[in-house]
């Protein structure tokens, strides 16, 4: 049987590695809402993340990543 590790770079031909996702350009309204939410709570649960993602028209992964990055920014400032 043909067994593959799942890595695209190992397949015959094609591009080297995986393409990175384009950087999200948040609107000022989105950043404002994210910052206000961050001031109230540094960590979001699943339900809060879903609600915020839907309200801001972003994915849950984008919300999760924004909060991770914002916590690191706060940590660097301290």
Q: What CATH number is given to the structural domain containing 44?
A: 1.10.10.60
CB 16 within 8 A of CB 44: no
Task: Tell me the torsion sign for CA atoms 34, 40, 60, 23.
Answer: positive
10 assigned to some structural domain: no
CB 15 within 8 A of CB 8: yes
What lies within 8 Å, CB to CB, of 50 at 6+ separation is 60
18 assigned to some structural domain: no
Q: What is the pLDDT along the chain (78 residues), one digit of tens a residue?
A: 555 445 444 445 555 678 887 888 999 999 999 999 999 999 999 999 999 999 999 999 999 999 999 999 999 999
């Amino acid at each position: 049987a043909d067994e593959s590790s799942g890595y695209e770079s190992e397949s015959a031909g094609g591009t080297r590695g995986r393409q990175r996702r384009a950087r999200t350009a948040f609107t000022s309204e989105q950043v404002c809402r994210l910052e206000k939410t961050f001031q109230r709570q540094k960590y979001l649960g699943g339900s809060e993340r879903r609600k915020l993602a839907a309200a801001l028209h972003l994915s849950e992964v984008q919300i999760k990543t924004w909060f991770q990055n914002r916590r690191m920014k706060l940590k660097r400032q301290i």
